[in-house]
Amino acid sequence: MKRRGFTLVELLVVIAIIGVLVALLLPAVQQAREAARRTMCTNNLKQVGLGLTNYAEAHGQFPPAASWRDVGTATEYTHGWYNSSSHYPKMGATFLVHILPYIDQTQLYDRVNFDHGMPEAENETVRATRIGSYLCPSDSFNSTTMTRYGGNWARGNYGAWINNVTNPNTNARGFGWIQVDGSKTPMAIQASARLNQLQDGVSKTALAWELRSHLADSPRGVWALPKFGATLLGNCWGVADCHHGINFYGVNGEDIVHGVDDPQARLRNYPSNDAQAASHSLHPGGVNVLFADGTVTFVNEAINVKVGRGISTIDGGEIVEF
C-alpha cells in the first residue's frame, strides 16, 4: 500500500501548533529561571547579613558603611564625579571589605592594605576580586569591571542605605553622619551602630538593599568603592527629585554622576551635579532587602521612598509589615 505523507497544509498546522506551545511555555520557563536566580540572590544577601552580624558580635558594633581615611569636605564624601588621583588615598574600606573574614574570605582580607585607599595600586588585587556572595545572578551586567578610580574594580549588587546626611565636620553628636532629620542608620560614613541601639527592632531595621551594577565607566555597583551608587544608597544631594523610588527608570532616575543612560539596564543618569542613589534590581516588581535579624524580604518597587528611608533607620519608630 502506498504510504501517504503530510500535506503542506498539515505541516503548516503542526508548525503553528508547536509555535503556540513554545509561546505559552517560554514565559513560564523564564519565570522559573528568574525565580531560581532570585533565590540565589536572596541566599547571597543572607550571607552578607551573616557576615554583618558576626562582625557586630566580634567588634561590638556594625562596620561603617564607608571609611574615608582623611576627613574631607561634604562634597568629597558624597559626589561620585571625583576621579582625581589626589582623592584616591582618602577612599578607604567599605562595609563589604570589613566583613570579608566573616564570609570565608580571610585570605583576601589579609591582602587589604589599610594604609592606602582602595583605588591605590596597593589594593588593586583586592578590589579586582569577584566575590560570589556579593553578586546577584539576575544582574547580567555584574561581569563587567569599572575602569574609573584607578581601574579594575569588580562589581557588587548590595549596598547600605544611609539616607540624607550632614557634613561630619560640623556634626557635634559624634555619630559620623547624622541624618538631616536627626535619625541614624545602622551603618554610616565613619560610624556605625551597636546591635542594642536598633530601637526599632532588628526585624524592622534594614541593613542592606540591592543595587544594580552597570557598564565599564559607571560606578554603580562596585563592592569595594566607598561611593554613592557603588555601595551607598539613599542619598539626595541638593536636588528636588528625592521622591523617586526603587527601580525607577525615568528623568532623574538613579542620579550617579559618571553613570550611563541604558534602557536595557533600567538605569538612568541625570546630567547634573546631584548624587541620588536609589535601590535598583532586575527582578520584576521589586528588590531584596536585608534586615538586621538576618532575614531577607522582597520589597515591592511601589513602596513609598519615605517608607524605605524609614525602615533603614535605627530609631525612627517606623514599624512596617511586608
Residue range 297-315, pLDDT digits in tens: 998 877 776 777 778 888 7
Residue 79 reports pLDDT greater than 60: no
Residue 319 belongs to a domain: no
Neighbours of 40 (CB within 10 A): 15
C-alpha cell at 303: 513602596
Domain that holds residue 270: 15-312
Q: Which amino acid is at 266?
A: R
Residue 91 belongs to a domain: yes
Instruction: Report pLDDT for 189.
Output: 77
- The DSSP call for residue 288 is E
Residue 322 belongs to a domain: no
Residue 250 belongs to a domain: yes
Of the chain, the percentage scoring pLDDT greater than 70 comes to 68
Highest mean pLDDT among 142-156, 159-173, 292-306: 142-156
Query: Regarding predicted confidence, which is higher, 101 or 65?
Result: 101
pTM score: 0.79
Of the chain, the percentage scoring pLDDT greater than 90 comes to 31
> In which band, very low, low, confident or very high, does the pLDDT at 267 lie, cut at 50, 70 and 90?
low
- The DSSP call for residue 250 is S
8 Å CB contact between 165 and 235 = yes
Residue 4 belongs to a domain: no
> In which band, very low, low, confident or very high, does the pLDDT at 111 lie, cut at 50, 70 and 90?
very high
Looking at the structure of the chain, the number of domains it has is 1
Instruction: Report pLDDT for 300.
Output: 85
Residue range 165-224, pLDDT digits in tens: 444 443 322 334 444 455 688 998 778 888 888 888 888 899 999 988 876 677 788 999
Residue 101 belongs to a domain: yes
Whole-angstrom CA distances from 208 to 48, 139, 243, 322 are 9, 17, 20, 16
Instruction: Report pLDDT for 223.
Output: 97
Instruction: Report pLDDT for 173.
Output: 29
Residue 10 belongs to a domain: no
Residue range 18-60, pLDDT digits in tens: 887 777 766 665 666 777 888 999 999 999 999 999 999 999 9
Residue 2 belongs to a domain: no
8 Å CB contact between 225 and 231 = yes
Where are any strands of DSSP class E within the chain?
66-68, 91-94, 158-161, 187-188, 191-192, 206-210, 232-233, 286-291, 296-300
- The DSSP call for residue 64 is P
